[in-house]
Amino acid sequence: MRRLRRIILFLLLGAVVNVLVAWACARWGSIPLGNGIGTKIAIEATPDAAAKELHFVASECEYVSYYQNTEETWAGVRREYTRWITCINPDYSPWEYSWMQWGWPCVSMQYEVAGEYPWPNQVPGWKGGWPLSNRDRSVLHSYGFLPGNAYPLVPLPLGFTLNTLFYAALLFLPFATFTTLRRRRRIRRNLCPSCGYSLTGAVPTNNIITCPECGIIREQTLTTT
Ligand SMILES: [Zn+2]
């Protein structure tokens, strides 16, 4: 019971750290645009959410094409779908729909963003994200062509699980080391390994000592002096 409670506690702490790290990645990390505009694809090849935003046919437009691109940094991944149209007037008009995924070591949280280049001059549409303040954004993205960051709010099942386990283990390690060392030291000094109460003079029953202080915890090894 106590062990189960401890496991749940560390998993919760791991999840909290995981979310904080993902937000820190979104806040201070960046995903610059890769080389070129990506691979040309058919509109049918885009995910439904993106297709809904990107599908566009206008009679005055000479040329409409769709691209897919994935950029990755230590802080996150952008899965990006763009539409480029060439019209008689005005000329190039790119439009983007992206899944912005943040976190370390795996990407664990995401938001979706849709809008017109260049960012962040145009107000983008957000989904599942809490946009950073304009002040923060202008510092981060003083140059254009970057989606202004938001704090991601939607967990990615696999990445969220892996990161939570990773941080839970990371937090548990120093805790486990400390309790193991303390337990050994207490046994060596003939103290109760659980609460530290002195067991000198305690009478063992069937080689088991019941701690008079905390009662429940028993210790089989008997160090007689
Ligand atoms: Zn005790």
How far is ligand 1, taken at its centre, from the CA of residue 70, in Å? 58
Residues near ion ligand 1 (Cβ under 5 Å): 192, 194-195, 197, 211, 213-214
Q: Can you give the pLDDT at residue 216?
A: 63
Q: Among residues 73, 80, 87, which one has the least CA distance to residue 50?
A: 80
pLDDT of residue 139: 41
Query: Which residue, among 7, 2, 10, has the nearest Cα to 171 in the 3D structure?
Result: 10
CA of 206 to the centre of ligand 1 (A): 18
186 CA → ligand 1 middle, Å: 10
Distance between CA 31 and CA 1 in Å, rounded?
44
Q: How far is the CA of 62 from the centre of ligand 1 (A)?
A: 82
Q: Which pLDDT score is estimated for 220?
A: 60
Q: pLDDT tens for residues 97-135? A: 889 999 999 999 998 887 775 554 444 567 788 776 554
pLDDT of residue 172: 93
Low-confidence spans in the chain with pLDDT less than 70: 33-36, 57-60, 89-93, 117-125, 132-148, 216-225
pLDDT the model gives residue 153? 93
At position 132, the amino acid (one-letter code) is L
Q: What is the pLDDT of residue 89?
A: 67
**Which pLDDT score is estimated for 118?**
53
DSSP run (H or E) holding 78? strand 76-87
Q: What single letter denotes the amino acid at residue 53?
A: E
How far is Cα of residue 53 from the mean position of the Cα atoms in its chain? 27
